[in-house]
Structure 1
Amino acid sequence: MSVIPGELVELDGGRLVLPTNADPAGAGHQKIGFRRLAVGLDVGGRGDDPSALVIIRAESRPYMTGRGWQQALTPPDYVVVYSETARLDEATDVVEWVGQKLQKLKNWHLTFDATGLGAPLTSMFHAAKIPALSVSITAGATFSRKGNLARVSKQVLFENAAVCLQNGTLRIAGGLPEREKQALMSEIQSVEYAETSAGNLTLKAGGRGHHADRFSALTLALIGETHFQPARFETAQLAGYWG
């Protein structure tokens, strides 16, 4: 396989690199980016409350800075590339539905709402050998993780999505079917602050008598990428330094 200098190469696990043509000087400056899929699942109930699946393509690309062999990474970019809802009465049906979608993907990670109706899915995904991060949605404004279990407040979920939408790091793909795009945009626009009985402000989505299943799935996919993906740490030796 011939590699064109400056052309990105995708390695296993969705890692992105620029070829250095085996030059040691170039290899010492190589930065490793990524291209992967963040999958979010909001588990619905019976009747008019569907389950929703949203897929976000996350990408950070290495590039040449123009200073010799020096490379840098672009800021992470998140694009909603898929959205779907399904009315499924049984938890086994949800696991099968999600599993069929994931079989067609590569370099993905799944985050789902394990609060309430989603609670049984933690063990069911494990039994089906589908790696998944189970999120219990809480009050307050904190998040934490232990193994494949996480606790995230609704405020963190919603505000994370709002900030990424506002600064342009999160976008909706132009190729998303118009029906799904309009439904998702409508749910995003329905998010608002509301006062609880205790007098605290909380974020709500969907409005009275409505659901915001796609938006909830979007926030889960995004939080799985922005807060719970392992960071890559690199070490390097300083040149020309005396201390």
Structure 2
Amino acid sequence: MDNPDGYTTEHVLGLDLGQASDPSALTVTQQRTPVRTGPGGLQVEERGDPEYAVVWIKRWELGTPYPDVVRDTAAVHDAPETGDNPELVMDATGLGAPVVDLFHEEGLNPVEIMFTGGDSVTRDGRTRRVPKADLATCVQSLLQSGRLKIAEGLDLAGQLVQEMKHFRVKISDSGHARFEHATEAQSDDVLLSLASALWFAERGQVLKSSHVIT
């Protein structure tokens, strides 16, 4: 979009819940979208392609109890810096209902992403079943187009960059693309938390009202 009238800004949180052998990770990403407004700037008539900046990362120690993760996530979600009720997108793959319920009981009402090895996205309420390849290609596309940045001096930025470098594409016997880290010793928790949030922001088809900055 050439010469936008202003920008909408909002934040999206991505959470990858660890299990026995991997830690939990939370990312906060700022989404800045160019807009063209109607008369008086009261109505958004056209939106451009959003740009994203990873502004905060938290990675819990291995074995941190889920209630602690819920409490910490709620504190970030409710912080003034993240805006008014930002969307929380959570990787719920392999988790039981009691774990997910902890987040609902805290009032976070997360969007649940479940990774699949299929070729299509399906939806059941706030749960999306998404091919893991879709999440990985979403991050790759945003990086290549220059629409995804990592804030300078960000704690754990190096961890995220390393996870991006180690992610690999593997083609199964059936011809399906699978995205995973190169070895079992390498982690992908920060990357998957970010990928879940970015996929939802780009393709989740959920728009929230935002403040227009001129």
The TM-score normalised by the length of structure 1 is: 0.71
Give 3-state SS (helix, strand or coil) of 2:170's partner. strand
One-letter amino acid of the structure 2 residue matched with residue 112 of structure 1: M
- Residues 181 and 143 (structure 1 numbering): CA distance in 2 closer, same or farther, change over 3 Å? same
Paired position in structure 1 for 2:42 = none
Q: Let me know the Cα RMSD of the aligned residues.
A: 2.5
- Residues 147 and 181 (structure 1 numbering): CA distance in 2 closer, same or farther, change over 3 Å? same
Paired position in structure 2 for 1:83 = 57
Paired position in structure 2 for 1:42 = 16
Paired position in structure 1 for 2:31 = 58
Distance 2:167 2:98 in 1: 28
Q: CA deviation at 1:127?
A: 1.3
Q: Percent identity?
A: 26
Distance 1:119 1:190 in 2: 31
Distance 2:122 2:151 in 1: 30
One-letter amino acid of the structure 2 residue matched with residue 221 of structure 1: A
- Counterparts of 1:1-243 in structure 2 under 5 Å? 33-46=7-20, 49-62=22-35, 73-87=47-61, 88-104=63-79, 105-107=82-84, 108-117=86-95, 119-177=97-155, 180-196=156-172, 200-205=176-181, 207-231=183-207
Q: How many residues align?
A: 194
The TM-score normalised by the length of structure 2 is: 0.80
With CA pairs under 8 Å and 6+ residues apart, which has the higher RCO, 1 or 2?
2
- Contact 1:141/1:154 (<8 A) preserved: no
Distance 1:231 1:133 in 2: 13
Larger radius of gyration: 1
- Residues 207 and 118 (structure 1 numbering): CA distance in 2 closer, same or farther, change over 3 Å? farther
Distance 1:158 1:167 in 2: 14
Q: Show structure 2 runs of 5+ residues with no match.
A: 38-44, 209-214
Q: Show structure 1 runs of 5+ residues with no match.
A: 1-7, 9-16, 19-32, 65-70, 233-243
After superposing the two structures, state which structure 1 stretch, 180-189 or 143-152, moved more: 143-152
